[in-house]
């Protein structure tokens, strides 16, 4: 793991530098990004239909809700009772391509420019999940969520919730420009490997997953957000 930066350097980067990078990087890369977004939008329209974009309330900095934008990768297929089917049953072949290449995340750059998100930070999760965090896990909300994050370097979704949150909190404690740079290059390698987009049985023994499912049964947390 990276060596912890000095408090002064980390504080200055967190207050000023990180937001500057979030504004400059997408703007400078706009010419390269727009063709991919236009092509992905057209393909989404052809293979998935409308709506092209997936919108969901997610918890941002200090838990403040914002509307996350992504290219839609799942259908709205439901069972005979009108309940959404599990995510793995609604994920289409085209959606798997979007997720494995992280192209589905590109609309999130608008969230970055607006200030809802950062390029690098803990994954933005549904607002309802915030009620399930321990005090330590809730520290992941002390920074803006990211389009990509430190936890992704360890298998993207193919790891337990507890492992993800532990790495999110480690990131919050060690945030620096050089760590963000390291994560960017690391995430590129992970995306090229196209591994870790699915969740497996590792969540079966997860305390956090049990808390989510308990809230779902109490109708506090909508069933459709589990595993998002």
Q: Select from 100, 96, 122 the least CA-distant residue to 195.
A: 100
Number of domains within the chain: 1
Higher pLDDT pick, 156 / 104: 104
**pTM score above 0.85:** no
**What are the helix (H) ranges across 29-73?**
30-47
Residue 1 lies inside a defined structural domain of this protein: no
Which range marks the domain in which residue 30 is found? 7-225
**Which pLDDT value is given to residue 225?**
45
Backbone angles phi, psi at 148, to 5 degrees: -135, 160
Q: List pLDDT tens digits, range 176-202.
A: 999 999 999 999 888 887 665 555 555
pLDDT of residue 53: 94
SS3 of 198, please?
A: coil
Cβ-contact 204, 213 below 8 angstroms? no
Share in percent of the chain as helix, strand, coil (round to 5): 55, 10, 30
Distance in angstroms (rounded) separating the CA atoms of residues 5 and 226 = 36
Residue 120 vs residue 31, higher pLDDT? 120
Is 134 within the bounds of a domain? yes
Determine which of 25-29, 104-108, 122-126 has the lowest per-residue pLDDT on average.
25-29
Percentage, residues of the chain above pLDDT 90: 44
pLDDT of 9 > 80? The answer is no
**Residue 2 located in a structural domain:** no
* Distance, CA of 139 to CA of 175 (rounded, Å): 13
For the chain, first and last CA: distance in Å?
28
* pLDDT value at residue 148: 92
């Amino acid at each position: 793991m990276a060596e912890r930066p000095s408090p002064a350097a980390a504080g200055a980067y967190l207050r000023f530098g990180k937001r500057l990078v979030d504004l400059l990087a997408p703007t400078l890369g706009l010419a390269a990004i727009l063709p991919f977004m236009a092509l992905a939008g057209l393909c989404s329209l052809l293979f998935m239909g409308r709506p092209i974009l997936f919108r969901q309330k997610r918890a941002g900095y200090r838990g403040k809700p914002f509307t996350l934008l992504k290219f839609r990768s799942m259908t709205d297929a439901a069972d005979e009772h009108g309940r959404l089917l599990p995510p793995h049953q609604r994920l289409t072949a085209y959606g798997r391509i979007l997720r494995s290449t992280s192209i589905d995340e590109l609309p999130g750059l608008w969230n970055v420019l607006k200030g809802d998100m950062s390029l690098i930070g803990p994954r933005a999760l549904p607002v309802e999940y915030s009620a399930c965090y321990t005090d330590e896990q809730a520290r992941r909300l002390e920074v803006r969520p990211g389009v990509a994050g430190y936890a992704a370097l360890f298998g993207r979704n193919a790891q337990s919730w507890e492992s993800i949150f532990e790495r999110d909190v480690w990131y919050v404690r060690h945030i620096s420009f050089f760590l963000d740079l390291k994560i960017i290059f690391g995430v590129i390698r992970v995306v090229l490997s196209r591994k870790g987009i699915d969740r497996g049985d590792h969540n079966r023994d997860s305390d956090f997953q049990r808390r989510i499912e308990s809230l779902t049964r109490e109708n506090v947390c909508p069933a459709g957000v589990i595993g998002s």
